[in-house]
Amino acid sequence: DALRGREILLGGIVTGFREGTSKNGKPYGILKLEDFTGSGEIPLFGQDYIDYGKYGKVGMYLLVSARVEPSKWAPNKFDFRIGSIRLLQDEKDKLIEKISITVPIHDLDEPTINELSVLIKKNPGHSLLYFRVVDGERNISLNLFSRNTRLSVTRELVDFLRGNDNIDFKING
């Protein structure tokens, strides 16, 4: 009920697609989408099947825009109405405006700086890059912004940042 009428954006990878024919002889598809938090199935009937069935290829990364609205057939129930399905790669740079990376000063060693530098340089894009270097002992922080460097936030970069326990990051935050 809290989602009624609100736009929902879902991003994930297609992990399955089943096609069938209804009792009325109409084709349909069930799109299985998975992200970091779990997975779910999106039924595609009628015009949705015609418009979006082409996205039912395992391994595709998708961005689904939808609304939760009262059902035509049962007003006390809700339907998940698709507004659009687009390739996530095409939309990612538009959606990720900036990344802010926070690093404790005592963890800024040469290997970390070099690896981060390589990841940033090999993935140019449109997202702004912010750094915050903190010294917890002295209660000091330094905020840095790169005017020259814009990047594409890739899976490889996110995996690197997540793999470093002392590095924190926020997207659009």
| pLDDT tens sequence across 3-44 | 777 888 888 999 999 999 999 999 999 999 998 788 999 999
pLDDT in tens, 126-148: 899 999 999 988 999 999 999 99
Q: Specify whether 77 is located in the same domain as 130.
A: no
Residue 1 lies in a domain: no
Domain boundary among 50, 75, 91: 91
Q: Specify whether 87 is located in the same domain as 100.
A: no
Residue 44 has a CB neighbour count (10 Å cut-off) of: 23
User: If you write DSSP's letter for every residue of 23-58 in order, what string do you get?
Assistant: TTS-EEEEEEEE-SS-EEEEEEEHHHHHHHGGG--T
Domain boundary among 65, 91, 117: 91
Q: What is the C-alpha to C-alpha distance for residues 127 and 92, in angstroms, rounded to an integer?
A: 10
Q: Specify whether 100 is located in the same domain as 162.
A: yes
pTM over 0.95, yes/no? no
Domain of residue 125 covers 96-171
